[in-house]
Amino acid sequence: MSNAFPPPDCREVTLGGTLQLGAYLGVPTDAKGLVIFAHGSGSGRMSPRNNYVAQKLRDAGLATLLLDLLDSDEELDRRNVFDIQLLASRLCLAVDWAAGNNTTCRLNPAFFGASTGGGAAIRAAAQDSRIAAIVSRGGRPDLAGAQALAAVRAPTLLIVGSLDRVVINLNRAAVGLMHCPRKLEIVPGAGHLFEEPGTLDEVVRLATAWFLTHLEDQNR
C-alpha cells in the first residue's frame, strides 16, 4: 500500500468552509460516479486500507473522495468518533460539496463506509435520496439505528470477514431491518480489518462490481 499523500492521481481539497475538512479528490477520465468514503473510529483521509480501495476504484473508472469527517478540534474529543449523526451530517455536506463542484457535479454519489463509518453512511443515505449505492466494509450498520435502516433506499452491500463473528451477527440483524436492495457478503478467512492476504482485494472486487452495477443503473 502506498504511503504517498495525496495519491499521485488525486488533489487535495478542503470542504466545509469554516470547518476546514481536508479531503483527497481523484477523478479519472469519463468517471462513472463518485464514491465518498466514510472512515471508521477516528481514521481519516490517510487511511491506508481505504486509500488502497480508493485507488482500485479509480482504476475501474470511479471517482473517489476521501475526507476527514472531523476537524482538528473535534478530533480531540473521542466522543465525536462515535457520534453517528455528526458523521452522517459531514457525509451529507460532502454530497452537497460534490454537487456544487464543477469536476464532480455530474457524477452520481455513492458511499463506502468502514467500521463505524458504515453506520454513518447508512444514516446519511437515509437522509439524502441522491445516494446511488452503499458498500460497508466490516461496518456497524446497527449504529445507524432501526429507523435509518428501514428508511434507506440506496442498494447496500455489507461485507464482513468470516472471523468477525460479532459483527456478522450485527450485519445479519441489520439486513433484516432494511427494505432496500441489500446483500451480505462474508469474506472467508478475513478479520475485522481485512489484513489477511487477499482479503482486501476481495473487498475491492465485490465493491467495484456493486458500485458499477448500481451507478450504471442510475445513469440509464
Residue 217: its pLDDT value, please? 61
Exposed/middle/buried for 75, CB within 10 Å: 0-12, 13-18, 19+?
middle
What residues pair up with 36 in beta bridges, in sequence order?
65, 111
Amino acid at 153: R
User: Domains, the chain, ranges and CATH?
Assistant: 11-219 (3.40.50.1820)
Cα distance between the two ends of the chain: 35
Residue 1: its pLDDT value, please? 59
User: Which of 117, 115, 51, 108 has the alpha carbon at shortest distance from 90?
Assistant: 117
pLDDT, one tens digit per residue, over 174-191 is: 999 999 999 999 999 999
pLDDT, one tens digit per residue, over 87-121 is: 999 999 999 999 999 999 999 999 999 999 999 99
Q: Which of 13-17, 34-38, 126-130, 175-179 has the lowest mean pLDDT?
A: 13-17
Mean pLDDT in the chain?
A: 93
pLDDT, one tens digit per residue, over 119-175 is: 999 999 999 999 999 999 999 999 999 999 999 999 999 999 999 999 999 999 999
Spell out where the chain has E strands: 11-15, 21-26, 34-38, 63-67, 109-114, 134-137, 156-161, 182-187
What is the rounded distance in angstroms from the CA atom of residue 8 to the CA atom of residue 170? 37
